[in-house]
Amino acid sequence: MKKYITVFPFIHINIKDNNTLFYNTLSRSNAVFTNNDAIAQIAKKLEESNLTCMVEEEQINVLKQNNFFKILLLNNFGYYVDAEKLPVPPFTTRCIDVNDTRLVTNFKNHEYLLENVRELTFYLNNFASAKNQTKVRKAHYQFLFPVYDEEKKELNLKEIISIIKVIGNHQININITGGNILEYSNFYELINELNNCRHNVFYYFHYLDLVNSDNNKLLSAISQKTIKVILVDFPFELKEFVKWNEIIKQDGVRIEFIVENEEQITEAEQIISEFAINDHMFRPYYNGENIKFFKENVFVSERDIIEVKESLFDLATKKISNPSFFGKLIFNTDGNIFTSFNFPAIGNINNLNLKNLIFELLEDENSIWRVNKTIVEPCNNCIYNLLCPPISNYEYLINKHNLCNVK
């Protein structure tokens, strides 16, 4: 007896060779069939026929042997019904089609181009205080971190304000960093502008830049609704940290610990406990020699990936773009514009046409905004590529797209 199999529109299916993943984007339940040609063939038919297909009696026996029908119902992937009971096949429709090229077309709609901007990062200056002599001077290639150069430079305030005004009314994240941003010559003028804007503003400070009492006064001028991120690297100077103990008790303060090994994690945990720090996180720093530390603390396992919580829209977005970089632009002290410091500048603030720049990033399939794990090897041949964390700066520095223990 023939049967119709129907999969619900909120189910994500991924087939690579004879490996198949079914993932319920509502309940996060999943099923993986490895080296199973029969299941892979059924999954392909479902994908090609709008999530409903007919199976012959011979196929039904094979599916029963693999407990497919039981798994289908238990995980709420879909249902099956005897074909003779229905005059026409069951009808379903996709909530969103991850293969729909119109998604990319909509991103490029010239009228809404600026709405693709999600985040702007401004490096106000490139100089440090006398106390701040951090050892992780190349951390900005991996995550938001101060940049220090011998030749002192500052980004022009008018240019910063002009870019923010071009963005218009849609809300974005604005990151303010530099070397020691408290030494920026127009710091008060800048925070006055940002205190009155509707965007989400984040200020980044190295902890040694906050030991000066005058700097603490500058810090108090920042609106309480903004986030003040205090970066702590090692070796850690406890005596200096004590001097601004009252700062970390304020609302909107987050501590980020830059760690290279297990010992630094242990030290950070002691600091967190001693000072009762509530809002904190760890930023692993790749120094070129601590790949073992990364394999143990950054690389993801198959279980980590399967337990991720992704909506159908998240998966569709990850198929056509890279959420780690999409919509993000960085402006350094020279006014040069980057999508990541691991790649050359893509323009300069002095001759910027923001709409044209955004369109070019969307149009170029090889731009960092668009290159994702469905394209790069070996991830493009993995059934978990859309559930896996997207490509980040770590992958480019380590020169390995699959920071995982799967492939």
283 and 260 Cβ atoms separated by less than 8 Å:
no
297 and 268 Cβ atoms separated by less than 8 Å:
no
pLDDT at site 133: 59
Of the candidates 385, 359, 387, which has an alpha carbon nearest to the alpha carbon of residue 373? 385
Cα–Cα–Cα angle for 193, 195, 198, nearest 5°?
95
294 and 403 Cβ atoms separated by less than 8 Å:
yes
What tokens appear for 131 in the block?
């106390």
Peptide bond into 235 cis (omega under 30): yes
- Other Cβ atoms closer than 10 A to 292: 10
CA atoms within 13 A on the CB side of 339: 23
Peptide bond into 390 cis (omega under 30): no
pLDDT at site 353: 92
pLDDT > 70? residue 115: yes
Once rounded to an integer, what is the mean pLDDT over residues 157-182?
93
271 burial (CB, 10 Å; 0-12 / 13-18 / 19+) is middle
Amino acid making up residue 212: N
283 and 143 Cβ atoms separated by less than 8 Å:
yes
334 and 123 Cβ atoms separated by less than 8 Å:
no
What tokens appear for 389 in the block?
């964390």
Percent of the chain residues topping a pLDDT of 90: 69
Tell me the pLDDT tens digit for each residue of 246-277. 788 788 899 999 999 999 999 999 999 999 99
Of the candidates 295, 333, 381, 374, which has an alpha carbon nearest to the alpha carbon of residue 153? 333
Tell me the pLDDT tens digit for each residue of 326-385. 999 999 999 999 999 999 999 999 999 999 999 999 999 999 999 999 999 999 999 999
> Residue with structure tokens 């069939």?
33
What tokens appear for 239 in the block?
């005596």
Say which DSSP state 172 is in: -
Cα–Cα distance measured from residue 42 to residue 272, given in angstroms and rounded to the nearest whole number: 52
What tokens appear for 38 in the block?
């029969």
Cα–Cα distance measured from residue 55 to residue 248, given in angstroms and rounded to the nearest whole number: 63
pLDDT > 90? residue 403: yes
Q: In sequence order, which ranges of 110-243 are alpha helices (DSSP H)? A: 157-167, 187-195, 213-220, 238-243
Phi first, then psi: what are they for 161, rounded to 5°? -65, -40
Q: At what angle do helices 57-65 and 37-48 cross, to 10 degrees?
A: 120
Tell me the pLDDT tens digit for each residue of 192-218. 999 999 999 999 999 888 887 676 677
Cα–Cα–Cα angle for 305, 309, 311, nearest 5°?
120
Helix (H) or strand (E) holding 53: strand 52-55
259 and 282 Cβ atoms separated by less than 8 Å:
yes
Percent of the chain residues topping a pLDDT of 70: 93
pLDDT at site 251: 82
- pLDDT, greater one: 389 or 97: 389
Go through the domains of the chain in sequence order and give each one's CATH number. 3-85 (3.90.930), 117-285+330-351 (3.20.20.70)
322 and 339 Cβ atoms separated by less than 8 Å:
no
pLDDT > 80? residue 101: no
pLDDT at site 92: 76
Cα–Cα distance measured from residue 244 to residue 303, given in angstroms and rounded to the nearest whole number: 41
